[in-house]
Amino acid sequence: MTYKLLFLDIDGTILTPDDQIQESTKRAVAAVQKQGVEVFLATGRPLHEISHIGKELNVQSFIGYNGAFTVYRGREILKEPMNPDIVQNFVHTAKHHGHELVMYTREKNVLSSFDSPAMKNFIQKFHLQKNELFSYDIIDQVLGMTILNLADRDVSLYEKDDLIYLSQVNIEGLAQCYDVIREKVNKGKAVKAILNYLGVPKESAIAFGDAMNDKEMLSIVGEGFAMGNADPNLLPYAKHQTTDVTNSGVYHGLKKLGLVE
């Protein structure tokens, strides 16, 4: 099999809990790039916060905001803002129940507050830089959203629409944080758009992920890898399971396919 595309989630997949990319991962990514494989970073993060990771891995193509915005070598392939009515409803629900919101536009992170412990922890964990307090001026610009300080019993408050579900952030210390995922806008839909745009069959695509916001992406490619540290609920959506992010998971997966030594 000749592989053409590699999609890599960031947190828990290439980025370890101490915010490092292992040398084995860097070498593996460089090796497949030399073979002509186009590498995409596919993340729930906003693109304005991951440029340094792209530079570290020499990656110029991205899926951000859990699939709402896709760029292939500087060319915009896909852009799907959230429905403003849904954003407004989530803002009201969060305020009523004492939750916090991080909303992502193309240029900035829009926060429901700056001062809550949950928000401070989230900002520190993800090193968010371009932050601004929420105003309704951005209601139609939101590409993605994370809900903070959310108990398990509160998830149903936001999952009233069959086309939206919440995906728990699979990072230590952030168990009460959930990404908002749209059934029609997710990493898998973005991967499909890229496959169609580039004329690449799914069998020639590889993806690695660790959380439930990766399930569509792992399902749609020919070789989907769940990390060893993955949410157990992700495993049925993956063709393979590799080792943990702290144990060269991406390297071992690519080695299984014969792409690295």
Phi, psi angles (nearest 5°) of residue 255: -65, -40
Specify the DSSP element, H or E, that contains 218: helix 215-220
**Rounded to 5 degrees, what angle do the CA atoms 9, 13, 14 make?**
90
Residues 195 and 126 placed together within one structural domain of the fold: no
pLDDT at position 160 is 84
Kindly tell me the number of DSSP H helices and DSSP E strands found in the chain. 7, 14
Q: Does residue 94 lie in a domain region?
A: yes
Among residues 34, 32, 1, the alpha carbon closest in space to that of 14 is found at: 32
Alpha helices by DSSP H, 5-152: 23-34, 51-57, 84-97, 117-126
Q: Does residue 130 lie in a domain region?
A: yes
Residues 14 and 90 placed together within one structural domain of the fold: no
pLDDT at position 254 is 98
Q: Does residue 202 lie in a domain region?
A: yes
Q: What is the mean pLDDT of residues 213-239?
A: 97
Give the pLDDT confidence of 181-223 residue by residue, as tens digits. 998 999 999 999 999 999 999 999 999 999 999 999 999 999 9
How many other CB atoms are found less than 10 A from the CB of residue 249?
29
Residues 164 and 91 placed together within one structural domain of the fold: yes
- Given a cut of 80, whether residue 85 has pLDDT beyond it is yes
Give the pLDDT confidence of 30-43 residue by residue, as tens digits. 999 999 999 999 99
CATH of the domain at 163: 3.30.1240.10
Domain total for the chain?
Answer: 2
- Band (pLDDT 50/70/90 cuts) for residue 172 is confident
Range of the domain at 68: 5-80+185-256
pTM: 0.91
The residue with tokens 């852009």 is 79
Q: Does residue 31 lie in a domain region?
A: yes
Residues 238 and 221 placed together within one structural domain of the fold: yes
pLDDT at position 171 is 84
Residues 63 and 190 placed together within one structural domain of the fold: yes
Residues 105 and 65 placed together within one structural domain of the fold: no
- Given a cut of 80, whether residue 70 has pLDDT beyond it is yes
Phi, psi angles (nearest 5°) of residue 92: -65, -45
Coil vs helix vs strand at 61: strand
Q: Does residue 177 lie in a domain region?
A: yes
Q: Are 201 and 207 in contact (CB under 8 A)?
A: no
Residues 162 and 228 placed together within one structural domain of the fold: no
Residues 100 and 72 placed together within one structural domain of the fold: no
CATH of the domain at 27: 3.40.50.1000
Domain boundary among 131, 161, 182: 182
Q: Does residue 32 lie in a domain region?
A: yes
Among residues 45, 175, 182, 118, the alpha carbon closest in space to that of 53 is found at: 45
Q: Does residue 73 lie in a domain region?
A: yes
Mean predicted lDDT score pLDDT of the chain: 95
91-121: string of b/e by CB count within 10 Å (b at 16+)? bebbeeeebbbbbbbbebbbbbeeebebbeb
Q: Does residue 261 lie in a domain region?
A: no
pLDDT at position 162 is 77
- Given a cut of 90, whether residue 64 has pLDDT beyond it is yes
Residues 158 and 88 placed together within one structural domain of the fold: yes
- Given a cut of 90, whether residue 132 has pLDDT beyond it is yes
Residues 167 and 191 placed together within one structural domain of the fold: no
Give the pLDDT confidence of 97-130 residue by residue, as tens digits. 999 999 999 999 999 999 999 999 999 999 999 9
